[in-house]
Amino acid sequence: MLFETRFLVSLLLTVVIEIPILLISLKWLFKEKKNSIGYIILAGFLASALTLPYLWFVLPPFIKLNYYIYVGEILVFLIESLIYYKILSIKFSRALIISFVANLVSFLAGLILLS
């Protein structure tokens, strides 16, 4: 499979996994009421669409291969936390938890499905 095709599949997989985790976390776990479901979906899509291209295309030349997955995933997790915090106006601690869980699940699913 072409690298670009793997990227698009990964983006789709990321969105399909992370947005439901974001929705379930905010609406049912944290009982968040101020953001609509559509706005949460938009924030989730925006977070993934902004971070995944950097992880796949921008960061690799700047980070040693041995550390790439760790540094890259930590950066994505932190940046997506900031996006959730700013766009959805939620507590930063909640944004960190949601981003960590969503990224962990999508990373593990990617390892399983795309390896």
- Tens digits of per-residue pLDDT, 48-81? 999 999 999 999 999 888 888 899 999 999 999 9
14 burial class (0-12, 13-18, 19+ CB within 10 angstroms)? buried
Domain that holds residue 78: 3-114
pLDDT tens series, the chain, 115 aa = 899 999 999 999 999 999 999 999 999 999 999 999 999 999 999 999 999 999 999 999 998 888 888 999 999 999 999 999 999 999 999 999 999 999 999 999 999 988 7
Candidates 6, 99, 10; CA nearest to 47 is: 99
How far is the C-alpha of 30 from the C-alpha of 12, rounded, in Å?
A: 26
Looking at the structure of the chain, the number of domains it has is 1
